[in-house]
Amino acid sequence: MANIKTVAKHAGVSVATVSRFLNNKDYVSQEAKAAIERAIKELNYRPNQVARSLTTKQTNIIGLIVPDITNPFFPQLARAVEDTALSLGYTVVLCNSDEQEEKEKLYIERLRQTYVAGFIVASNLISEQSYLELNIPVVALDRKDNSQLPYVSTNNFEAAKLGSAYLIERGATNLICLSGPQNAGTFAERAKGFEAAMTDNVSYRIVEGDLRYQYAFESTKEALAQDRTIDGVFACSDYAALGALKAIQEAGLRVPEDVQVVGYDGIELGDMVLPGLTTVAQPVYGLGETATRMLISKLEDKEIQQTRVVLEASLCVRGTTK
């Protein structure tokens, strides 16, 4: 099998030159480049990534940290990250923090030991400071609007306000907002957006908790048991909105006639249920793609115009509103 020595010999250059070429670090003449490229092709040489990692202290592996891969938003996001990474020569290690700080830390440590190139972080548990201290590129995805890390997100506040205002516009007068964990900046922003949309003639309540399907189902069930006149639900994730939908329908109420529901995310699933879910649709694929391109630009020392990108979410009206 071809190795760096046989490539050097075939190309008529030194091993050091081939090494410089492979690591893309220092100057290699055009002539040497062409000879090496020809030799690599003719010998069908494949650089040993592990050996290169030892020299460069870097791999082409990106760690993607998500809070819960079974929330259907994250597979769509992961798919976008992975597609983009693959097309740019990187592979993605999927890390599911399960919303546990210890698990997230364990992943970070383990990947650091294998010289992971950088992280895309879509969870909210660990402080930004911890990520900043890693001294490798990190991009925050759908995390906080006011992050110190480079980030990609949607305009959480404005978009949630838009979705909530639509419930009122369509006649809701007694609303609840299903919000996420308090430590998650994203959801705090969305809850604030909900609150900002409320007018004097409506009553409302914010239910804090987590945004898993089961939790949203239980919370909505409980809220309806306490107050049967609730006629509008704004859920800070589509996954939670699906839980709310099920609770409303199980309570014998009709959607949208008795209770209207608006979600947030724009996952494909929202179109699969009946009635289809009205939602604040994030450009899910675009979020993942943008974050990945941003991270890889950082890894390759390319200039990045923007290190804070806010994509616009928009209202997608389906059957859960009047």
Binding stretches for its own copies (CB under 8 A): 46-51, 53-54, 59-61, 69-70, 72, 74-76, 78-79, 82-83, 86, 91-96, 98, 103, 106-107, 109-111, 113-115, 213, 242-243, 245-246, 249, 268-269, 272-274
CB of 3 to its own copies, least distance (A): 13
**b/e map of 205-243 (b: 16 or more CB within 10 Å)?**
eebebbbbbebbbebbbebbeeeeebbbbbbbbbbbbbb
Nearer to its own copies, 195 or 271 (CB): 271
Q: How many CB atoms sit inside 10 A of residue 199's CB?
A: 9
**Whole-number minimum distance, CB 253 to its own copies, in Å?**
12
Nearest to 178 by CA among 144, 222, 225: 222
Q: Which two tokens stand for residue 229?
A: 């006149």
Q: How far apart are CA 255 and CA 59, in angstroms?
A: 51
Nearer to its own copies, 196 or 272 (CB): 272
Minimal distance in Å, beta carbon 63 to its own copies?
A: 9
| Region of residue 170 (phi > 0: left; psi between -120 and 50: alpha; otherwise: beta) | alpha
* Closest by CA position to 230, among listed 209, 246, 248: 248
Q: Which is nearer to its own copies, 69 or 126 (CB)?
A: 69
Alpha-carbon Rg for the chain in angstroms: 24
* Cβ at position 72, least distance to its own copies in Å: 6
- Pick the closer one to its own copies by CB: 137 or 243: 243
Return the number of the residue (21 or 107) whose C-beta is nearest its own copies: 107
Task: Map residue 52 onto helix, strand or coil.
Answer: helix
- Nearest-approach distance from CB 192 to its own copies, in angstroms: 28
Query: Please, which residue, 75 or 286, has the CB nearer to its own copies?
Result: 75
Minimum distance from residue 204 beta carbon to its own copies (Å): 26
Query: Tokens 């998650």 map to which residue?
Result: 184
Rounded Cα–Cα distance for residues 157 and 198 (Å): 13
